[in-house]
Structure 1
Amino acid sequence: MYAQIVVDVPTQQTNHSFDYLIPSDLTPVIQPGMRVAVPFGRSQRLVQGFVVGISATSKFSGKLKPIDHLIDLRPVLNAELLQLSYWLAQQTFSFWISCMQTMLPSVMRAKYQKAVIALDKNLQKQDLFQGQIMKILDNQLSTQMQKQLSLWQKNGLVEIKYLVKNQAKQLEQWFIQRQSYDYSTLLSQIKPQAKKQRQLLQLFIDNPKLKSISLKELLNKYHFTAATINAIVKKGWLAKNKQVVWRQPASQPVEATTDLKLTLLQQAAYQKITQAKDQVVLLEGVTGSGKTEVYLQSIKYFLQKNKTALMLVPEIALTPQMVAQVQGRFGKLVAVLHSGLSAGERYDEWRRIETGQATVVVGARSAVFAPLKNLGIIIIDEEHEASYKQEDNPRYHARDVALWRGQYHHCPVILGSATPSLESRARGQKKVYQLVKLSQRVNQHPLPQVDIVDLRNQDNLTAQPDLSKPLVSALQQCLKQQEQAILLLNRRGFASYLMCRECGYVPQCPHCDISLTVHLQEHYLMCHYCGYKEPIMKICPHCSSAKLRFSGTGTQKVEQQLQAILPTARIIRMDNDTTSRKNAHSQLLKQFETAGDILLGTQMIAKGLDFPNVTLVGVINADTGLITNDFRASERTFQLLTQVSGRAGRAQKEGRVYIQTYNPQHYAIQLAARQDYEHFYQQEMRFRHQAGYPPYFYLIKVTISHRSQAQAFKMAYNIAKQIKPVLTSSEQLLGPTQPTVARVKNRYYYQ
């Protein structure tokens, strides 16, 4: 028997399967989807590979190498995911092996080691081997030792072997187990002075249902010593053994919830979703219209039919609130997958899904590859979000992968948003997708009143440049009434850049064509593209002037201004700087809910969050997204403003929104203030049609990069030269041109 194997060598020449001989002892157990270690290339080094097929014949006429060993005892990719990996590789021009690895937790990627084996017993006495037969080699070997090894290998005294190490490990812990004794009678056999031993037995007497307890808990929670526990184990009254435990993502205790009564609009949406079979349903609902409740009841419907459910959210910041709501309904059936988990937690959640213990998955972009079987429904919340697109290889869009899986399982895919992407909305209009609308908030609550504050008007300005008089007045009123506010500024750091007022010098990143952002609290200048940092300078390196000033603004600066105006306010800042720690998102949101007045943050706070006491939303600068050279700039600005406005007045109290801008007449800002998606859609579609942009055209971006600008430039023009002759009359070529930031991490870019 022969196996078709895709090896872990991501190059164009190896981007297909290779035939390997299956050793007779592996023939009964090997299956497609398993990982194996195979010799590859002339050096015979072992590499990891995925079995993608098994056959009785081979097209290769030469001598085939045998598989060295299995890494898995059961397939890690099922038949669906193997098919999906091949489709994804073709669709995104990626290496097949990269697509397969993307579907698995990072700990399941192979780690390679080089080992030297002493074939001569006398060599084992050498310092290198220290009496052992095998020594794992590292890069610390001296040149002399490397020469010696080379000589030994030439003379057949040693063998160099490549090892494939499986990093995926189950977590094991020691447990103390009850034995079949009457512990009440055993108490008399323990000396009165051995108080701790008596207390340990008493713990099992007081808890008759306690079969076993972890050693960690006995040591930390009950403060027993290892000596006390070992003394009882030695007597045979308790047993000590290792057990596999699941690493579970830390989450707040969740209260169980029950279904809410649906409104007539929600009921209609629920019925269309549950009857949709393999259709795509675009659920367009204004903010606060109860889309989440429709999702939850739809999931319940499919779970009752013994099917599974997948729900995607765009940001890790949204996961804690959404997970709490889903766990409130479905408890331990829910698994969570996102990049904020540790490698071990992610592996254990993946195993719970793969073994069928978890039948509902909630997660960010990569959760779309969750190994769920018998999918009944796929939900993509905030489907318009750009974060569903993976920006490095394989460059997949989670929505496209979800649509493929929906077709495979013949199940409905629900795309939910208050502001659908123009591509999805156009498909809804053309009846490619089924369009379902929730046009009113639950319980007929009004949408918040929105005020546009013109920052060009001097009467609106205060001593704090980023906070206008109307917004400051509203914040003071909000605090007075013991209500909460959310403030959005889509720019982190303290200031956009540092500038010398004498000569105009602005510190630039040495690796990227971008100015360094000021992070005042951390006392450094930082590049947000490559992470380069340097201390904030006090003297200009060009003219030696001390007249350096901070220009532009960021969340840190606004936080400082807020504290100056509202000294008693409890301000919680949420951006990439404050959420880098594990579980920081959920901790900050919990802190705001229980003991915060103002939540200040970047776009991660703009969508999906639901706090009943938030009555005020302020947008510090609505123009930050409009000034980018992206054809979707107006669409993204409209979406962001509409989403953040929807955070206000979601419960009984009415909401108020202040949008500060230098472009008060811009249609994206005017229509977002009215939450008028229909008019925005019509106007933006007209512009897209005139300019020849999606959704009227498909768009492919070819990016060329090189460490030499001349080489990148030359190659970009060569590629353009090859493309032009083969274009049809309905196809256009734009560029080649440089992107806004032409150099990143010392590479020059053309597109």
Structure 2
Amino acid sequence: MSDTSSRPAPRVLGVAVPSPLRRLFDYRPGGDPPAGGWQPGLRVRVPFGRRQVVGVILECRDDSALPLATLKPVDACLDDAPLPEDWLWLCRFTARYYQHAPGDTLHQAMPALLRQGRALEARTRERWRVTASAAQEVPPGLARAPRQAELLAMLRQHPHGLVTQAVLAQSFSRDQLKALVDKGLVERLEEPRTATPAGQAGPLLAEPALPLQREQAAALAALHEQLDAFHPCLLHGVTGSGKTEVYLQLIEAVVGRGRQALVLVPEIGLTPQTLARFRSRFRVPVVALHSGLTDHERLDAWEAAASGRAPIVIGTRSAIFTPLARPGAIIVDEEHDGSFKQQEGLRYHARDLAVARAHRHGIPLVLGSATPSLETLQRALAGDYRHLRLTQRASRHPPARLELVDLRGRPRRGGLIPPVMEAIESTLAAGHQVLVFINRRGFAPTLACHACGWMAECDHCDARMTLHRQPPLLACHHCDRRRALPDACPDCGSADLRPLGSGTERTEETLAERFPETPVYRIDRDSTRRRDALEQTLTEVRRGAPCLLVGTQMLAKGHHLPHVTLVVVVNADAGLYASDFRALEHSAQLLEQVAGRAGRAAHPGRVLVQTLHADDPNLRLLAARGYDALAEQLLEERRAALLPPFRHLALLRLESPREPAVSELGGRAAAALREHLAQRGLEVDCLGPVPAPMERRQNRYHLQVMLGAEKRSRLHEAGAWLTAWLEAEPAARRVRWSLDIDPQTLS
């Protein structure tokens, strides 16, 4: 931090406030100046309209486009020192790249308590430790206080002391602790909640690292080559090949050098599993950042990372904005996963920000996946990323190949046909576990009238409502609208209403009837709403007793289920013929990932894929030669069609309760952009406007305009002009709009 004591005080502060406007707002310095002087990164409380808001200073200037006398003064400065510099850089880069309002970007990237003006400081906890004199000899005078004597004896068994919660959990009281402190036998220490106990020394590892196979050792050696340089690598390993062990041993080297590691995982459901493995391996603090934390827990973890007390940070998408005092490596596990892309508001991609951040810090970046995204795979094939391959499973069994099972002309119960039921029965009889994958929650996709063909449709969306049995109702999975089950068809009055298709509830019910002696565990968003419900269920499954797992894609992502030897995919056709050009890529990734749950330990696995299109050439290629062969073919198709990763896209999304409003604004915006592109000679395509794949959702009409360019710089230039045009257009104030840079879905 440069010395600011001799610098003259600025007359104007450019403040980013939480607002959709893509600009800063000028204020005059006011209140008590901070000790280090006014500088970027300080949070301030400022008047904004009729509200008081918390903003962040991004510029200190002597001039403004407005007369200085008309500028409002800052009410108060909330910080003694600026927020972390690396965090501030990342936020500014994010706002610039994704063409988002800087104030809203900063607002979303910081913990909720900091947005509210809370100080960035660690909460503390008490630790109780035996004093040096009491540790050497048995103190006299405790004969009449047996509980104090027991407490002292317990504390003497823990040289580094115990926190208050641990003491109280043993049925001791604060009064007993205070009595020992008054006698000089115990001392009270105050420490940050995320801290290694003072004086605790010893090796970095709490348990030894696992021996590496030849490919793992080669990959780790390659990662060790440049620990002090930007070193992007694709760790392309089949499911069960030991990618996590490579991560752990890389982190051991990073932390051993006094640096920090940031690990991103796609789903909150994976965080407890990953945390448990990392905490059992390392003696240093490992903190988590995800949506399941309280506001205080999130701020504690954020501050521990910013101060450097937490050498290892694990989190979901938003954890990319965690400041690091001494960054040493960034790891993105399951880098292909769509959940790394934020689909509302600030539409950033955590994987792409990880690339930018690792480059900024000059540190290694590891992107791990068994089914890498085509963007990452192309960069690896082109030599931009180092391509590290793990082709062997730790179990020594080869990954199970997909066996296509033709559904045509066969009776189904709960979505399953008789040969598949027989395979399930024989697997359970052998003492193994079965995973039945059906990517549709609820009992059935919809409810229909057998007499007239009526189907239950959502009043607010162009979608059918899903039938649920627990509790019985109709629900729209797009707008969350719920409706009671009708007694009769609203069109013809018939009482012959039947569920169409199968969801997780129906498949669970069918399997429970067929195998009454075998536990059936359903894992989807409905059954895991309670905190820790998913981890408790998986803990029970990992005990190894024969059971049936019925679940959605929550089960396909990185879970280690060593006793599952049979995986059944109820319907593989959902994403094969969707309108989105990425649909086949995403479907293939999902199928390979769920197939990877089979045969990860002592017994080989088998994967049965039910389909109505067993002769589909893409599905046959995936089954015969695996994801890599299909990805190679898809890359050639994308190259010929000029689609990502060989072209860059941006998507203007417009929505309004009034269809004419979005149609008129979309048409005018596209026409204005085309005229601007022609005048400037910019090589950017403008397609649309066209209705979104689901035009009406949540009672709002959705329209899209797509921009495409070979050069990213041209795309950003066109996007910046378009957003400026929309901000100046009065009609755009009555329509919700956003520009999605590098969209991952067209829905």
Q: CA contact under 8 A between 2:177 and 2:186: conserved in structure 1?
A: no
Please, which of 246, 252, 264 is the counterpart of residue 193 of structure 2? 246
In structure 2, what residue type is equivalent to 1:382? E
- What is the CA distance between 1:96 and its match in structure 2? 0.4
Aligned to 1:496: 445
Does residue 1:584 correspond to 2:533, yes or no?
Answer: yes
Partners in 1 of 2:177 and 2:647 — Cα distance? Answer: 73
Change in 2 beyond 3 A, CA 1:522/1:275: same
Aligned to 1:94: 100
SS at match of 1:519: strand
Superposed, which structure 2 residues align to 1:366-405 within 5 Å?
A: 366-405=318-357
Superposed, which structure 2 residues align to 1:554-573 within 5 Å?
A: 554-573=503-522
Please, which of 17, 29, 48 is the counterpart of residue 21 of structure 1? 29
SS at match of 1:686: helix
Change in 2 beyond 3 A, CA 1:329/1:202: closer
Aligned to 1:719: 669
- What is the CA distance between 1:102 and its match in structure 2? 2.3
- What is the CA distance between 1:24 and its match in structure 2? 5.8
Aligned to 2:152: 204
Aligned to 1:6: 15
Superposed, which structure 2 residues align to 1:724-743 within 5 Å?
A: 724-725=674-675, 726=677, 731-743=684-696
Please, which of 668, 672, 677 is the counterpart of residue 618 of structure 2? 668
Q: CA contact under 8 A between 1:183 and 1:205: conserved in structure 2?
A: no
Q: CA contact under 8 A between 1:516 and 1:526: conserved in structure 2?
A: yes
Aligned to 2:415: 466
In structure 1, what residue type is equivalent to 2:623? A
Partners in 1 of 2:54 and 2:682 — Cα distance? Answer: 47
Aligned to 1:744: 697
- What is the CA distance between 1:183 and its match in structure 2? 9.5
Change in 2 beyond 3 A, CA 1:314/1:667: farther
- What is the CA distance between 1:560 and its match in structure 2? 0.6
Q: Which moved more, 1:596-605 or 1:687-696?
A: 687-696
Does residue 1:526 correspond to 2:475, yes or no?
Answer: yes
Q: Which moved more, 1:684-693 or 1:279-288?
A: 684-693
Change in 2 beyond 3 A, CA 1:326/1:173: closer
Does residue 1:67 correspond to 2:74, yes or no?
Answer: yes
Change in 2 beyond 3 A, CA 1:200/1:635: same
Change in 2 beyond 3 A, CA 1:219/1:437: closer
Does residue 1:85 correspond to 2:94, yes or no?
Answer: no
Partners in 2 of 1:412 and 1:92 — Cα distance? Answer: 24
In structure 2, what residue type is equivalent to 1:204? L
Q: CA contact under 8 A between 2:286 and 2:314: conserved in structure 1?
A: yes
Does residue 1:222 correspond to 2:230, yes or no?
Answer: no
Partners in 1 of 2:418 and 2:277 — Cα distance? Answer: 38
Task: Output one character per residue of 1:579-638: Cα deviation in whole Å (capped at 9) or x when no partner.
Answer: 222223322221221266222211121131222222111111111222432111111111
SS at match of 1:703: strand
Partners in 2 of 1:603 and 1:354 — Cα distance? Answer: 34
Does residue 1:332 correspond to 2:273, yes or no?
Answer: no
Change in 2 beyond 3 A, CA 1:531/1:171: farther
In structure 1, what residue type is equivalent to 2:264? L
Superposed, which structure 2 residues align to 1:270-419 within 5 Å?
A: 270-276=220-226, 277-419=229-371
Task: Output one character per residue of 1:617-675: Cα deviation in whole Å (capped at 9) or x when no partner.
Answer: 11111112224321111111111111111111122211111111111122332233235
Aligned to 1:121: none
Structure 2 unaligned segments of length 5 or more: list them: 1-8, 196-204, 705-747
Change in 2 beyond 3 A, CA 1:348/1:480: same
TM-score (normalizing by structure 1): 0.82
Task: Output one character per residue of 1:481-514: Cα deviation in whole Å (capped at 9) or x when no partner.
Answer: 2112222111111111111222332232232222
Partners in 1 of 2:619 and 2:102 — Cα distance? Answer: 44
For these two proteins, the number of residue pairs brought into alignment is: 675
Aligned to 2:719: none
Aligned to 1:194: none
Partners in 2 of 1:176 and 1:322 — Cα distance? Answer: 30
- What is the CA distance between 1:401 and its match in structure 2? 0.6
Partners in 1 of 2:207 and 2:663 — Cα distance? Answer: 59
In structure 2, what residue type is equivalent to 1:6? V
- What is the CA distance between 1:298 and its match in structure 2? 1.6
Partners in 1 of 2:153 and 2:274 — Cα distance? Answer: 41
Aligned to 1:51: 57
SS at match of 2:304: helix
TM-score (normalizing by structure 2): 0.83
Change in 2 beyond 3 A, CA 1:209/1:680: closer
Change in 2 beyond 3 A, CA 1:436/1:174: closer
Task: Output one character per residue of 1:699-730: Cα deviation in whole Å (capped at 9) or x when no partner.
Answer: 21111111101111111222222233326696
SS at match of 1:736: strand
SS at match of 1:326: helix
SS at match of 1:487: strand
Change in 2 beyond 3 A, CA 1:172/1:371: closer
Q: Which moved more, 1:445-454 or 1:720-729?
A: 720-729
Change in 2 beyond 3 A, CA 1:669/1:340: farther
Aligned to 1:628: 578
- What is the CA distance between 1:406 and its match in structure 2? 1.0
- What is the CA distance between 1:213 and its match in structure 2? 6.5
- What is the CA distance between 1:108 and its match in structure 2? 2.2
- What is the CA distance between 1:559 and its match in structure 2? 0.5
- What is the CA distance between 1:185 and its match in structure 2? 4.8
Aligned to 1:37: 45
Superposed, which structure 2 residues align to 1:133-282 within 5 Å?
A: 166=118, 185-187=140-142, 198-200=146-148, 202-204=150-152, 207-208=155-156, 221-222=170-171, 246=193, 256-276=206-226, 277-282=229-234
SS at match of 1:642: helix
- What is the CA distance between 1:333 and its match in structure 2? 3.0
In structure 2, what residue type is equivalent to 1:373? A
Superposed, which structure 2 residues align to 1:698-713 within 5 Å?
A: 698-713=648-663
- What is the CA distance between 1:365 and its match in structure 2? 0.9
Partners in 2 of 1:496 and 1:613 — Cα distance? Answer: 30
- What is the CA distance between 1:74 and its match in structure 2? 3.7
In structure 1, what residue type is equivalent to 2:700? R
Aligned to 1:424: 376
Does residue 1:445 correspond to 2:397, yes or no?
Answer: yes
Q: CA contact under 8 A between 2:33 and 2:77: conserved in structure 1?
A: no
- What is the CA distance between 1:85 and its match in structure 2? 1.2
SS at match of 2:649: coil
Please, which of 461, 470, 479 is the counterpart of residue 512 of structure 1? 461
- What is the CA distance between 1:232 and its match in structure 2? 5.7
Q: CA contact under 8 A between 1:639 and 1:672: conserved in structure 2?
A: no
- What is the CA distance between 1:455 and its match in structure 2? 0.4
- What is the CA distance between 1:525 and its match in structure 2? 1.3
Q: CA contact under 8 A between 1:388 and 1:397: conserved in structure 2?
A: yes
Change in 2 beyond 3 A, CA 1:522/1:246: farther
In structure 2, what residue type is equivalent to 1:94? H
Q: CA contact under 8 A between 2:405 and 2:609: conserved in structure 1?
A: yes
Change in 2 beyond 3 A, CA 1:198/1:274: closer
- What is the CA distance between 1:311 and its match in structure 2? 1.4
Change in 2 beyond 3 A, CA 1:53/1:285: same
Partners in 1 of 2:357 and 2:178 — Cα distance? Answer: 56
- What is the CA distance between 1:47 and its match in structure 2? 2.2
Please, which of 551, 554, 560 is the counterpart of residue 610 of structure 1? 560
In structure 2, what residue type is equivalent to 1:67? V
In structure 1, what residue type is equivalent to 2:499? F
In structure 1, what residue type is equivalent to 2:559? L
SS at match of 1:586: helix
In structure 2, what residue type is equivalent to 1:68? D
Q: Which moved more, 1:22-31 or 1:571-580?
A: 22-31
Partners in 2 of 1:451 and 1:344 — Cα distance? Answer: 49
Change in 2 beyond 3 A, CA 1:559/1:737: same
CA RMSD between the two structures: 3.2
Aligned to 2:492: 543
